[in-house]
Amino acid sequence: AANKELLDTCVGFLDNGSSMEATARALFVHPNTVRYRLKRIQDVTGYNPSDPREAYVLRMAITLGRLHEA
């Protein structure tokens, strides 16, 4: 369940133009929760979703993972 939350947060963050407030509204959570989850994503993956280049790597990994599942 925690991994699903991190994935949803990462996708939401990237889809909302890296806006923490917009992501929080979309996920119905507090912006501090988004900050915490983004930190967890960085800890788990080694990539910072707030950095544009690293966000691109995360986006590609998520896309490839979804294609692999299908």
The answer to whether the predicted template modeling score (pTM) of the entire model surpasses 0.85 is: yes
Burial of 54 (0-12, 13-18, 19+ CB in 10 A): middle
What is the rounded distance in angstroms from the CA atom of residue 9 to the CA atom of residue 48?
13
Element (H, E) at 58: helix 52-69
What's the average model confidence in pLDDT over 55-63?
A: 96
pLDDT tens column, 4-58: 999 999 999 999 999 999 999 999 999 999 999 999 999 999 999 999 999 999 9
DSSP tag of 35: H
* Per-residue pLDDT, 70: 80
